């Protein structure tokens, strides 16, 4: 057997193994999800990962060799520092070598204390207390529990098309698609159009416990709030005694080119200090799940009578805290966020050029830093574009609560040459889309 024949046999073996993995996923995890992945041309399984690239175990019917995607999804910012970042991997190994594990939440934790201190030093304003959770949904749940317990009120205001997670309270402040199938009682939850100042302010009154907003709604379509919107909402909260909760799970941690979207990341001269801020996804450094709910010191009074009102057995794993502390040092190192801004401006320029060339189908480009949305004139085109992106080995998708918009969030470590390649592949994909006139749908 020559080398070429051997390679073909290995590829065929890998392809068959991948097919078996897909069958197991459908049988034991989720068949409808597997069917959906197949419809997008993603009848493949994750294989080797490295930096901004995500490869598959094997190819598909059209390509024998493994597919090497540029990850422009990053799972909502989980992979801010890319995949299998060697520096962070070595830090994780270091943590394990030090004898760290998850830790027991019934004992004082050195690693949680150190990470909470580091967060207090960089969070906006007077936010100084942190509780650790496993994931973003739990952290959102905790933020809403704190708001209700602190204010002794029940009403919660959030935005239409929002996504805050799929756990108990979190799904109630999100889009209807996440709570309606489960017969959830949302009588105390008010949903308003994001960015509509009049409707938002009118909804906030003396019975409101909290207003919770994604600073830049990602699943909702990378929506940019109008100037003054967040500031006015916070002011109204102060006037009525409600708390303002900032969900920066996707928009925070440098994604906009500033550390926090709510603190100059959208408008440089507009900085808003929330009462509570929730972080997740990127806090994991792509290696160990970790989420946080941070708040003003006064809110801690909720725990005075019973400090165990909220517990999270595996939340704030000591191994994870160790890695996250080092990740935050990398994030706040001189020049890092400057590069995010530069790469963001480069990506924005390329996207605007694509819009100009295909103004017949691309409605709007919006975003900040390395968080961008490309909105098409209809859902069918955006879904088609997702397919063409995947064919051109760009891993990205459309926004779940605004399907006409493609979400692009490459890793924060992406360099200039890699941005050029992303734009090149996006241009190839968009040129494959027919114009409305050719389809007779003008």
Number of H helices, E strands in the chain: 14, 15
User: What's the pLDDT tens digit per position in 65-117?
Assistant: 899 999 999 999 999 999 999 999 999 999 999 999 999 999 999 999 999 99
For the sheet with 127-133, list strands across it.
Answer: 127-133, 291-296, 276-279, 243-247, 208-214, 155-159, 189-192
pLDDT band at 180 (very low <50, low <70, confident <90, very high): confident
Specify whether the CB–CB gap between 73 and 83 falls below 8 A: no
pTM here is 0.94
Q: Any idea where the domains of the chain sit in the sequence?
A: 3-84+335-439, 86-331
**86-331 topology per CATH:** 3.40.640
pLDDT higher than 70, residue 149: yes
**Element spanning 267, H or E:** none
Crossing angle of helices 318-331/336-357, nearest 10°?
A: 70
Pick the CATH number of 3-84+335-439 from 3.90.1150.10, 2.60.60.20, 3.40.980.10, 3.40.1130.10: 3.90.1150.10
Query: What mean pLDDT comes out for the span 421-438?
Result: 92
Give residue 441's pLDDT: 45
* Helix H or strand E encompassing 250: none
Burial 194-223 (b: 16+ CB within 10 A, else e): bbebeebbebbeeebbbbbbbbbbbbbbbb
Average pLDDT over residues 395-424: 97
- E strand or H helix that includes residue 91: helix 86-97
Element (H, E) at 372: strand 371-376
Mean pLDDT of all residues in 16-42: 93
Question: What is the pLDDT, as a whole number, of residue 3?
Answer: 65
Q: Tens of pLDDT along 236-245?
A: 999 999 999 9
Mean pLDDT (the chain, rounded)? 94
Whole-number Å distance between alpha carbons of 364 and 438: 21
157, 210 Cβ separation under 8 angstroms: yes
DSSP class of residue 225 equals P
d(CA 181, CA 328): 38
């Amino acid at each position: 057997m020559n080398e070429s024949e051997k390679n073909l046999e290995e590829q065929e073996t890998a392809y068959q193994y991948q097919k078996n993995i897909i069958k197991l996923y459908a049988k034991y995890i989720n068949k409808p999800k597997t069917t959906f992945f197949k419809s997008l041309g993603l009848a493949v399984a994750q294989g080797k990962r490295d930096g901004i690239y995500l490869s598959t175990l094997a190819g598909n019917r059209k390509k024998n060799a493994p597919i090497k995607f540029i990850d422009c999804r990053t799972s909502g910012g989980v992979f801010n520092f890319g995949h299998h970042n060697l520096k962070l991997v070595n830090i994780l190994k270091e943590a394990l070598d030090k004898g760290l594990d998850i830790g027991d939440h019934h004992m004082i934790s050195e690693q949680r204390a150190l990470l909470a201190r580091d967060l207090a030093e960089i969070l906006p304003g007077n936010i100084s207390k942190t509780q650790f959770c496993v994931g973003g949904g739990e952290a959102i749940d905790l933020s809403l529990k704190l708001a209700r317990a602190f204010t002794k009120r029940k009403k919660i205001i959030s935005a239409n098309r929002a996504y805050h997670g799929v756990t108990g309270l979190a799904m109630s402040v999100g889009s209807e698609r996440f709570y309606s199938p489960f017969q959830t009682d949302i009588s105390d939850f008010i949903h308003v159009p994001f960015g509509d100042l009049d409707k938002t302010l009118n909804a906030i009154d003396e019975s409101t416990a909290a207003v919770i907003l994604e600073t830049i709604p990602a699943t909702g379509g990378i929506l940019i709030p109008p100037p003054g919107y967040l500031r006015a909402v916070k002011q109204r909260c102060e006037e009525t005694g409600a708390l303002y909760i900032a969900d920066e799970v996707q928009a925070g941690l440098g994604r906009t080119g500033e550390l926090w979207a709510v603190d100059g990341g959208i408008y440089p001269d507009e900085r808003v200090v929330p009462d509570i801020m929730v972080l997740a996804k990127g806090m994991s450094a792509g290696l160990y799940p970790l989420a946080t709910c941070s708040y003003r010191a006064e809110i801690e009074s909720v725990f005075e009578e019973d400090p165990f009102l909220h517990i999270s057995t595996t939340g704030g794993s000591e191994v994870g805290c160790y890695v996250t502390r080092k990740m935050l040092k990398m994030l706040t190192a001189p020049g890092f966020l400057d590069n995010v801004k530069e790469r963001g401006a480069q990506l924005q320029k390329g996207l605007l050029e694509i819009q100009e060339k295909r103004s017949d189908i691309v409605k709007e480009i919006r975003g900040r830093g390395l968080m961008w949305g490309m909105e098409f004139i209809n859902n069918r085109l955006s879904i088609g574009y997702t397919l063409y992106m995947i064919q051109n080995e760009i891993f990205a998708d459309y926004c779940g609560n605004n399907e006409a918009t493609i979400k692009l969030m490459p890793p924060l470590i992406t360099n200039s040459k890699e941005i050029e390649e992303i734009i090149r592949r996006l241009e190839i994909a968009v040129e494959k889309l027919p114009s409305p006139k050719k389809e007779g749908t003008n």
